[in-house]
Homo-oligomer: A and B are copies of this chain.
Amino acid sequence: MYNTRMKYYSYEDFKIDTLSLIQMVKGSHCEAIIAIARGGLTLSHAMAEGLDIRQVQSIRTELYDKTFKRDMLNIFDTCQLDGVKKVLVVDDIADSGDTLAAVMEYLEKKYEEIEFVSCTLFYKKTSVYEPHFWINEADGWIDFFWERDFLK
């Protein structure tokens, strides 16, 4: 539980939480992972190893206009999901939830025969979308190690 306004989230924190997340997601028997880039990339790699899922793809989103949200989200869908029944969508945090909500809605409409479940490390109660699986509640800014450790 992270209730400070600004928290450095280290690799050691990540390791512990990801192991818990793997245990939570395990029973879902997903066959493929879609990482939301960039935030979900490191987590998707760890989840794929822990869940022994070889098929990992990524999806990229971009805001048309920084002042608007959701409706203005461009989703670059480059996924190939032939023969897949269940997919795990991975992101680092459901913050406003706009990205995850839009991506899930988009995927569920486009691939009607596929079941999608989502997971994140952090979830904010103010998010418009709640992932199927999440570990920590966040009420401030999370300073993820991948956003901090490679800047210099």
Write out, one digit per residue, whether chain A residues 68-104 have a CB within 8 A of any chain B CB (1) or not (0): 0000000010111000000000000000000000000
Q: A46-B150, A146-B46 are in contact. Are A56 and B78 (CB under 8 A)?
A: no
| Residues on B with beta carbons closer than 8 Å to the beta carbon of A38 | 45, 48-49, 54, 56
Q: Besides A37-B56, A42-B42, A58-B58, 14 other CB < 8 A contacts?
A: A15-B150, A22-B150, A38-B45, A38-B56, A41-B44, A41-B56, A42-B46, A45-B45, A47-B150, A49-B151, A55-B60, A56-B58, A76-B80, A78-B80
| Residues on B with beta carbons closer than 8 Å to the beta carbon of A11 | 11
| A140 interface contact, C-beta 8 A | no
